[in-house]
A = this chain, B = another copy of it.
Amino acid sequence: MDLVSEALGQALAATESLDGGEVADYIPELAEADRHRQALALVSVAGHDYAVGDADHEFTLQSVSKPFVYALAVDELGIDVVERSVGSEPSGEAFNAISLDPATGRPVNAMINAGAIMTTSLIEGSDTGERLERLLATLSAFAGRDLHIDEQVYASELETGDRNRALAYLMRSTNALRDNVDDVVNTYFRQCAVLVNAHDLAVMAATLANRGINPVTGTTVVGEAAARCTLAQMASAGMYDQAGAWLLKVGMPAKSGVSGGIAAVDPGQFGVGVFSPALDEHGTSVRGGAILRTLSEEYGLHLLAHAPSTGRRDLEVTVRRDSTVLLLPPEIDFAVAEQLSHLAGRLIEQDLTAPTSVIIDLAQVSTVRRSGARLLRATVDQLQLAMGSSLQIHDPTAVLH
């Protein structure tokens, strides 16, 4: 077995003693879930996939559908338009909390049910059928395969969905929601009843990790801005009333669902899908949460702990008799670009142009982070302006183009 799978297997094994939690039982289909079944899958931004446990076992998306439909809405309409209808604030409340702005009826965020129903209503479509088709097509593109609705689960959701209908009517009563309630709630129930497995969740999460591009199929599902906004919503509100503790302890944007699935993202690295149906009092998979916390702690995946563990290489300056060589390190982030800019300022002040030359050596650069790109280019431009032909740039891999 490969090492990543081994690591996943260890994480799964480490939580097997967790017997707590209850399988959701508000509809028979969920109540029948086998609480001992579990799965964990990881898909990297290179498109490699790993899985342990019953990774082919299908379950319904439920609330895990919310961030992906939100990504579609933001992609179609832009975040500013979406924000007019759905807020971005964590509520500190449960998934089915009312949490509507008392004056406008706007739900506080897109991860609670009210906000998710509103988000579904924002998806364009000339009629309910077309909207559903586009929703399903997008969820399928996220997963990289055609997904289908579990019609029996949908039928059961319809029967027990009074609270969601209530939320929709509350939003309609202030004109926050403009659609027919039955239409939008039924579409929402259908998106919740889409069947996936843990591997699918990992691909879907990896697509968000990979700036909206499915790393397995290469398809651009949503744009980078929509992916980033979605990760922000997952980070601040994805875990409902434990969102703050999750960001503190696990530090991965994530979304859970009552069928026992969780999708989690390490931005720029990979997506994870986990499945285990016994839920805690917040409606989150007990083992699923524990597995992700274990992975985060063991592998240092915390969003706010991505500092290098080994010494970064700084800019190296070699002053020779007739030239000063500025050797740039492999990764250019804001900190490195800032060092170069800092040095350039001093070189210009010292008027080192005349007898000597300055060589900027970019040969080792492999990565230019967005946070460093603009400052790097501006610094090079500034030096060129000041030094003219005395500046030489060694850029064999065309980093500056």
- Using CB atoms and an 8 Å cutoff, list the residues of chain A in contact with chain B: 1-4, 7, 44-46, 48, 79, 83, 87-92, 98, 108-109, 162-163, 165-170, 172-173, 181, 210-211, 224, 228-229, 231-233, 235-237, 241-245, 247-248, 251, 253, 266-270, 298-310, 312-314, 329-331, 333-335, 338-339, 341-342, 344-345, 364, 366-371, 373-375, 378-379, 382, 399
Q: A87-B244, A210-B307, A313-B330 are in contact. List 19 more A-B contacts (CB 8 A).
A: A4-B338, A7-B375, A89-B90, A163-B170, A166-B167, A228-B251, A228-B305, A233-B248, A235-B303, A267-B304, A269-B334, A270-B335, A300-B371, A306-B371, A309-B368, A312-B367, A330-B330, A330-B364, A364-B366
Which of B7, B109, B173, B369 touches A309 (beta carbons < 8 Å)? B369
A43 CB to closest chain B CB (Å) equals 10
Which of B241, B268, B313, B338 touches A89 (beta carbons < 8 Å)? B241
Give the residue name and chain of the B residue nearest to A3 (CB).
B341
Task: Answer whether A339 and B48 are a contact pair too, CB < 8 Å, given A92-B90, A236-B243, A382-B3.
Answer: yes
Chain B residues with CB under 8 Å of A162's CB are: 169-170, 172-173, 181
A211 to B310, CA, bound (A): 13
Which of B233, B305, B333, B342 touches A269 (beta carbons < 8 Å)? B333
Give the residue name and chain of the B residue nearest to A109 (CB).
B244
Give the residue name and chain of the B residue nearest to A1 (CB).
B345
A339 CB to closest chain B CB (Å) equals 6
Chain B residues with CB under 8 Å of A298's CB are: 374
Task: Answer whether A299 and B344 are a contact pair too, CB < 8 Å, given A211-B307, A243-B89, A267-B307.
Answer: no
Chain B residues with CB under 8 Å of A333's CB are: 268-269
A269 to B174, CA, bound (A): 43
A368 to B368, CA, bound (A): 16
Chain B residues with CB under 8 Å of A266's CB are: 334, 371
Task: Answer whether A244 and B237 are a contact pair too, CB < 8 Å, given A269-B333, A370-B305.
Answer: yes
Chain B residues with CB under 8 Å of A236's CB are: 90, 235-236, 243-244, 247-248
A253 to B333, CA, bound (A): 18
A298 to B224, CA, bound (A): 15
Q: Which 9 A-B pairs have the closest CB atoms?
A: A330-B330, A300-B370, A166-B169, A163-B173, A2-B345, A89-B244, A162-B173, A309-B370, A313-B366
Chain B residues with CB under 8 Å of A109's CB are: 244
A173 to B370, CA, bound (A): 48
Q: A247 contacts B232, CB within 8 Å?
A: yes
A161 to B228, CA, bound (A): 39
Chain B residues with CB under 8 Å of A331's CB are: 330-331, 366-367
Q: B88 contacts A4, CB within 8 Å?
A: no
A331 CB to closest chain B CB (Å) equals 5
Q: B334 contacts A299, CB within 8 Å?
A: yes
Q: A304 contacts B232, CB within 8 Å?
A: yes
A109 to B76, CA, bound (A): 35
Task: Answer whether A338 and B270 are a contact pair too, CB < 8 Å, given A169-B165, A173-B166, A232-B251.
Answer: yes
Which of B91, B224, B341 touches A92 (beta carbons < 8 Å)? B91
Chain B residues with CB under 8 Å of A364's CB are: 330, 364, 366
A-B contacts, 15 of them at CB < 8 A, read A2-B341, A4-B341, A44-B339, A46-B314, A48-B339, A88-B245, A98-B98, A224-B307, A228-B251, A266-B334, A269-B333, A270-B338, A303-B304, A312-B367, A329-B330
